[in-house]
Amino acid sequence: MADEDDGRWPDWLTVCGDDAPHARGAVVLDGAATRTRPGLFAAMAEALALPAHLGNTWDALADALRDRLDAGPLTLLVGDAGQLLVDEPAGQYALLLTVLGDLATTAPHPLRVVLHEVPPA
């Protein structure tokens, strides 16, 4: 599978398969750790050294990521992205994309999200 980012995605989002994407300086999240919303929040808090008092709400995550984006650009690379929020209702995945999209278009520094999924052999 080649890079699937053929203009169907917003500029801040890349979806790809096969070869690992080149995202220098990216913060890497393991998709297996992000199957649930609490798992996603914990993985992001650890990977980004977010405040310990980060709540488990989308607003709290947005605020913490906005604070991080005040300091400079951020690239999030989710490996095994097919696992992302797979154990949550579909609406949670849509909320995550909404939060990230809002940040990508309003934050003072760029946010880039790379969803990488290797197809089964």
82-95 tens-digit pLDDT: 999 999 998 999 99
Domains of the chain, start order: 13-117 (3.30.370.10)
4-50 tens-digit pLDDT: 445 578 999 988 887 766 677 899 999 999 999 999 999 999 999 98
pLDDT at 3: 45
Compute how many other C-beta atoms are within 10 angstroms of the C-beta atom of residue 87. Answer: 11
* Rounded average pLDDT over 91-101: 96
pLDDT at 23: 72
